[in-house]
Chains A and B, each alone.
Chain A
Amino acid sequence: MIKKEFPELGEFYYEETLKNGLLIRVIPKPEFSRSYAFMAVDFGSIDTNFIWNGRDYQVPAGVAHYLEHKMFDMPDGNAMDAFARYGGSNNAFTNYTMTAYYVECTEHFEENLRILLKMVTTPYFTDESVEKERGIIAQEIRMYEDSADSAVFENLFSSLYRTHPARVPIAGTVESISHITAETLQDVYSAFYRPGNMMLTVMGNVDPAVVIREAACNTPDAGAWTPPVRNYGTAESLTDLVPRVEAAMEVSMPTFVLGFKYQPAKRGPETMRQEILGDLAAEMLVGESSALYQQLYEQNQIDSDFSAGFERMKGLGILEAVGDSEDPEAVAEAIFREAERIGREGLDEQQFLRLKKSAVGRRTRDIDSFESTCYRICAAYFDGVEYLEYPSVYQALRVEDAEEFLRQAVRREHASMSVIRPKNP
C-alpha cells in the first residue's frame, strides 16, 4: 500500500494493485458519516467492436447498459436486496466509456463493499432473466426518446461522426437490444469484466487496510487474460460531417447544441490537458463572464442554462455550446463571428487568469462530492492520467494556448448544429 499526497489540495490517497491486477485507491474521510465505494469497469457503450482471443466481435449497441442491468442478478437472489439488508444505497450507470457500480452507506461498510465486489465479479445470466429485462430496458429507451436533452446530443454525435460508435445512444435502440442474449452478455463480460480492467475507488469513513483486504478476498484470480483490442473505426476527417440536424419534439422552446469536431488527444496526460484547455477556451469564447455571453443574454437570445465546454472520449472530441433559444442560428452566427474576432485580436489575458482561478476553485470544491471525485479519478486513470494533479495542468496553461485552441476548433467547416424544435406551433 503506498500513500500519495497532494499537499496543495490537502488530499491524499492510499493505493494498492492486487495480484489479479485490480487497482484500488482509498481516500479516508473520517469526519464524514458516510462511506462510498465506486467500482468502475473500463467498458462503455462505444465498446461494441473488438478483437479478443483471436475472434472478431461485433456486439449489438446497448450491450454495456444491458449488462449493467443484469449484473445485479446473483445465484442467490438480487444484489439490491442484499444491499438493502445492510442499509446500503446502491446504483449503477453506463456511459460511453465506463460502466460503474457504487454503494453508499453509513453502517456495515464491509458487508456492503463485499456485496459490491461479489456482484461485479459474478456473472449470472439466464435466458429467462435476460428476456425479462428487455421490456424494462425498452421502456427506459423510450423515456430517453422523449427527452429533448438526450436527443439533441445524440443527434449531434451522429451528425458529426460517420462511423464512431457514439453515434448510437448509450442504451442502444429498441431494435438493437432485441438481439442481445445471455450469450452476448457472457461474451462481453468475459472480455472486459476482469480485475485488470477495473478500478475500485473508496471515499469516506473507512480503513484502507480493510478495503484492500476485502477486495483481495472477494475478487477472482486474473486467469489467462489478454485485454481485448478495441476498434472505434478509422480516424475521421474533421470536415466529414452533416452540418445540420433537426427534430421536432414536445418542448416549449428550441433547444440546441452547436458542436465543433476536434482531434481528440491520445491516451495519456494530454487527455486531461486537452479537456481543461478546451473548457477554458470555450469559457473564454462564450462562458458566463465573456462579452458575448452578456450580449446574447441581454438580448434574450440565450438564458442562464446556456453553457459551453469541451467533451472528449476515445476517438471523439467536441467543443460544444448548449442552450435554449428562439433563434439558435443567430446564436451560432454570433459565436462564429466572435471566434473570428478573437482570431484577429486575441484574448484578454486578465480574463484568462481569472478564469483559471475560477476553474481550479470549482474543481477543488467538487472534491467534496464523493460521487464526482471517485468518478473523475477512475475516468482519468482509464485515460492514463492522475486526476488530482489538475492544479499543475492549469498552472502551465497560457492565454496563447486558448487562442490557438479556438483557432483550430471554431471553424465553420468543423461545425454541426443540432436543434430540437417544438412540435406544435
Chain B
Amino acid sequence: MKYRTQILPNVYLTSVQTDKFKTGCFSVNLLRPLRREEAAANALIPSVLLRGSEKYPDIRSISAHLDELYGASMGTLIRKKGEVQFVGFFADYLEDTFAHEPIFSRMADFVAEILLHPVLENGAFGKEATAGEKWNLANTIESRINDKRSYAVSQLLKNMCRDEIYGIPRLGDLEDLEKIDEVSLYQSYRDILKNSQIEIFYMGRIAPEAATEKFREVFQELPRGTAVPFGTKYVPSASEVREVTEALDVTQGKLSLGFRTGCTVSDPGYPALVVMNTIYGGGITSKLFQKVREEQSLCYYASSSVEKFKGVMVVSSGIEFSEFETAKHEILRQLQECRDGHITQEEFDSAKRYLLSDLKAGLDSPGRLDDFYMGQIMAGLDGSMEDLATGIEAVTMEETVDAARRVSLDTVYFLKGVEA
C-alpha cells in the first residue's frame, strides 16, 4: 500500500494512494539533528519563507492564491521526534475531482516556489520579514505558558533532560532566537536546504508514479550536498529521582511525572511497552483514569504517554494543590500494581482492543500516517502500522508486566499556585 522511492539525491517520497478523501495532502520535511545552535533558526525559516516568494511577494498574494485553489492550506510544520527536528511545510487541498480543475499539481508548484524562491533583499531574507517572524516565534515560545497542561509537561521534560539534547525544545530557545538576523538566517537556510535528507509524504488520489514525476519536476533545482546524519541518544534507566516545583498564579495544580522506559521503538519489547502504557494511563479504561480519577476523584485528568524514540514515559495530571502527596503516591502505586502483575484480564484485553482499533482508525487519518511513517524512516525502521498491530496482538501478560518493571521514575514536576 505504501510506496517509497528516491526522487533526487537524498530526497525521498513516501506515497499512499487512496480515493477515500476529498482532501489531498503532502508534507515536505528537512531532517535535522536537534542542535542548540540551529533549532531556533530551523523553526524560524519556514515562517520567513511563507512571507513571500518571487511570484507571490507578500502574505496577501499568498492567501489570495490559496483562496483561488479552493481554499487550499499551506502551513509550517516543525516536529521533534526523539533528538531530530523535522523542518518544513504541509499542504492540504481539495482533490482535483471535486474542484473540477487541477489543484494538486498547482499546489506542488506553489510549495516548491515558496521553498526555493524566497523574496530576497541584498542577497538575504527581508529585514522586516525576518524581524516580524522572530517576534512571532518569540511570542509562540513564550505562550507555552498559556496552556498549563502542556506547559507542565514541557517543563518536566526540560528539567528531566537538562543535560541531554532532548532537553532542547521543539522550537528552540529564546536566547538563541535573539542572535538571529536576516543574513545569518539566509545562510542557515542555504545550508539546511542543501545538506539535509528530505522526506516528502503524499496521500491522495494521484498514482505514486505520477506523484514522483511531479515532485521530481518541481524540486529539480533543489541544491544537493551531503545530508547530515541524525539520531537519538537513549538513556535506559533513571539514576535518582528529582523533584521540581514551580509556582504560578493558577487555580489548579499540575503534576507531571517523567520516567525512563528502558525500551524504544527499535526494541522487540516495544509493543509490550505500548500495551503497558495503555493499561496504566493510556485511555479511559486505564488504571490512572479508573482508579485515580473515577474511584478516588483525585484529579480532573490523569494520563500517561510514551515518547517512543527517546524511551520516555510521561504522566500528566491536574489536581488540587493540597493533593500533591496523595496524588503522586497514588499515581506511583498504580504503576507498582502493573509491576506486581496486578492487571486483570479485562484490563489487558481492553487495552489491546483499544490499541488495535486505534491503529486501524489511524489508517483513515492522513496526518497520523504521515507522522507514523516519518518516525519509522527516522528510526531506520520499515514496519507499517499493520505490523505494529500484529506485534501488539502477540504481546503476553508476562511481557506487559516486564515492560512495567523496566520503567524507572526520573523526575517529578509540580506546578502549584502562588500563596496569597
> Could you list which residues of chain A lie within 8 angstroms of chain B, going by C-beta atoms?
9-10, 29, 31-34, 78, 80-81, 84-90, 104-107, 132, 135-136, 139-140, 142-143, 145-149, 249-253, 255, 288-291, 293-294, 297-298, 300, 303-304, 324, 351, 354-355, 357-362, 364-365, 367-368, 423-424
Contacts and interface: CB of A to CB of B under 8 A. Distances in A.
A293 B94 CA distance: 25
Contacts of A288: 59, 63
A357 B300 contact: no
Interface of B: 18-23, 58-60, 63-64, 66-72, 92-94, 97-99, 128, 132, 135-136, 139-140, 142-143, 145-149, 248-252, 283-285, 293-294, 297, 299-300, 318-320, 346, 349-350, 353-354, 356-358, 360-361, 363-364
A135 B297 contact: yes
Q: Identify which of A289, A354, A361 gathers the most chain B CB atoms within 10 Å of its CB.
A: A361
A362 B103 CA distance: 13
B10 to A, nearest CB: 31
A324 B139 CA distance: 10
15 contacts: A10-B97, A31-B18, A33-B363, A89-B354, A107-B353, A107-B360, A250-B249, A289-B67, A324-B143, A354-B68, A357-B68, A360-B71, A365-B94, A368-B21, A423-B249
Given A136-B293, A143-B252, A358-B71, A252 B361 contact: no
Contacts of A107: 353, 356-357, 360
Contacts of A290: 60
A102 to B, nearest CB: 13
A351 B140 CA distance: 30
A291 B285 CA distance: 51
A105 B361 CA distance: 8
A364 B252 contact: no
Contacts of A104: 361
| Top 3 A-B residue pairs of the complex, sorted by shortest distance between their CB atoms | A361-B70, A139-B300, A358-B71
A146 B254 CA distance: 11
A324 B309 CA distance: 34
B145 A303 contact: no
B70 A250 contact: no
A290 B67 CA distance: 11
Contacts of B300: 136, 139-140, 142-143
Contact of A250 (B68, B69, B145): B145
B67 A142 contact: no
A126 to B, nearest CB: 15
B139 A253 contact: yes
A359 B339 CA distance: 53
A85 B285 CA distance: 9
Given A105-B357, A140-B300, A32 B20 contact: yes
Contacts of B320: 139
A163 B165 CA distance: 55
Contact of B60 (A31, A293, A355, A368): A293
Contacts of B58: 294, 298
Given A106-B360, A324-B143, A354-B68, 13 more contacts: A106-B357, A139-B320, A142-B252, A143-B149, A251-B146, A289-B66, A293-B59, A298-B59, A354-B67, A357-B67, A362-B70, A365-B22, A365-B23
Q: Identify which of B58, B71, B293, B361 gathers the most chain A CB atoms within 10 Å of its CB.
A: B71
A275 to B, nearest CB: 17
A294 B318 contact: no
A361 B252 contact: no
Contacts of A358: 66-68, 70-71
A354 B59 CA distance: 16
B251 A145 contact: yes
A413 B38 CA distance: 50
Contact of B318 (A89, A132, A139, A298): A139
Given A355-B67, A365-B92, A34 B364 contact: yes
B408 to A, nearest CB: 29
A361 B94 contact: yes
Contact of B252 (A32, A146, A424): A146
Given A32-B20, A364-B22, A84 B364 contact: no
Contacts of A361: 69-72, 93-94, 99
B285 A81 contact: yes
Contacts of B251: 142, 145-146
B50 to A, nearest CB: 9
Nearest to B134: A300
Nearest to B67: A358
A92 B129 CA distance: 43
Nearest to B360: A106
B67 A89 contact: no
Given A31-B19, A34-B364, A361-B94, A84 B136 contact: no
B22 A368 contact: yes
A362 B71 contact: yes
Nearest to A83: B284
Contacts of B20: 29, 31-32
A149 B299 CA distance: 22
Contacts of A10: 22, 97-98
A300 B136 contact: yes
Q: Identify which of A33, A135, A140, A424 gathers the most chain B CB atoms within 10 Å of its CB.
A: A33
Contacts of A78: 294
Q: Identify which of A34, A84, A85, A288 gathers the most chain B CB atoms within 10 Å of its CB.
A: A84
Contact of B135 (A105, A140, A300): A300
Contacts of B97: 10
A161 B368 CA distance: 42
A146 B320 CA distance: 13
Nearest to A423: B249
Contacts of B67: 289, 354-355, 357-358
A304 B136 contact: yes
A289 B67 CA distance: 8
A367 B22 contact: yes
B194 to A, nearest CB: 28
A143 B354 contact: no
Contacts of A304: 136
A348 B405 CA distance: 66
B63 A289 contact: yes
Contacts of B148: 146, 250
Q: Identify which of A90, A290, A362 gathers the most chain B CB atoms within 10 Å of its CB.
A: A362
A106 to B, nearest CB: 4
B353 A87 contact: yes
A303 B252 contact: no
Nearest to A326: B139
A18 to B, nearest CB: 28
Nearest to B366: A368
A135 B293 CA distance: 10
